Amino acid sequence: MSTQELFPDFEEGTRMTGLGQTWIVGNLLGMGRCAKVYHITTVDGSVDAAAKVFRKEDKYKLVFIKEIRNLDGVAGHSQIVSVYGTFTHKGHPCLIYELLDFSLKELQYRFDQLEVLLGSNNNNNQTDLAHSKSTNKKAESSSAANQESSKGLSLFLIQSLYRDLLKCLQHIHQCGWVHADLKPANVMWSAQEGVWKVVDFGHSFEENNQDLSQIQSIGYQSPEARSWNSFICQREFSSRPLVQSVSLQQECTSAVDVWSLGCIVAGAFLGRKLYGPDDVKSGGCKQCRQDGVEEKCECEPLIDTVIKTREQDKSPKFRKVLADLRDLLKQVLQCNPRNRLTSAQCLKHRFFTHKLKPGEGDVLLPTRVLRLHHVPDDVDSYDAAEFEEVFNEIKEECEMYGPLSSIEVPKAGPGKGKAYIEFQVARDCQESHAAVNGNSFSGHTILATFFPVEEFELKNFF
């Protein structure tokens, strides 16, 4: 059997049967050593999903079984990808899960072209992403100290990203598991729910029961993970017996996830990786490897150097926010895992007490809620009939793109002069955004932006 037959390679339009449905294979979303991920849709178009299609070899079937087991161990949280089920297609094990919108890695690669990313044309997104990956390959592999800075995410987005992922980690760790491969490619945005979700549990393990395999990815590997991976590599390729047995090795704990998340958040702020391939030392920095040394971990002055005021953070109100972000990152990026905060402790950090809102010009990620600016701001002076007319006009315009759940037109407060439309389906909201933005509505040119789901549900309009 050829390698081509073993590795899944399905053309668009291929049909697969499973979970009581016939699925049509769409575009390729991503691929790795073990599997390819495809966008799939039911024949009637009622359900979109992602299919992770594994290779046929027995060892990859074991990888498939392991990932299913790992997902079963942590299932049931809103920040973990939802699994629909599994089936086999032409000998390839298939894991079917919810279709998410884009990864943090994609967002970071194309931050300067967000209007492309936030659009609804997935095929163009894949083409643009491939080009971005090729032009950023050199920068990704270089040391953080030598990389050219680029514009990172706003503090509003960074805070929501960090909070979402910490909630996810708190659940995973409370279940007794370690994700063990947190990185931007495994963090994906759900426009439907308005949250970041974690995917790819193929490297996960139960704490205190670690597999004899390497974990984490370069740039997001904790110092103890580098030591562990080095040991596993020697074990696999050495022709001579190892002097040190695996029982004497320090197994990795949930602290490795906290380290990786710190790297992710710092990278989201910087617009580039915090650490290059050779920046993190196996076992930790010199200070942390020496008993009784009271010097600070090498990460602390680094964080002070790189987490500094950016052009978009010049407002005095951000000084305390940045100081608290620096403090939190210094407490999670400690070489000694025993000195790191836990995910639960991180959520109680004062960085999350700041009530942040996006500023003018800040990016708002796509959700199922649309915010229309320049709606007449004197609606409070209308009589009931006039206001009803405006309300119905907004409703009819938006219903052209899909069914709505609710509409809010505040008559006072920060939301005055805006309309907030909640769609049942995020994709309909994105189509409405593309069609409505910049068009005339009730005698006014409308500016359409997305709006955070959580803020809408709490009626925190701005």
What residue ranges of the chain have pLDDT lower than 70? 1-5, 111-150, 236-250, 289-294, 376-387, 390, 441-443
Determine the pLDDT at residue 112.
Answer: 54
Give per-residue pLDDT as tens, 247-265.
445 689 999 999 999 999 9
Determine the pLDDT at residue 290.
Answer: 66
Determine the pLDDT at residue 151.
Answer: 76
Determine the pLDDT at residue 296.
Answer: 79
Nearest CA-CA partner of 374 in 346, 394, 402, 356: 394
pTM > 0.75: yes or no: yes
Give per-residue pLDDT as tens, 267-311.
999 999 999 998 998 888 777 766 655 677 888 999 999 999 998
Determine the pLDDT at residue 246.
Answer: 46
Give per-residue pLDDT as tens, 75-114.
999 999 999 999 999 999 999 999 999 999 999 877 655 5
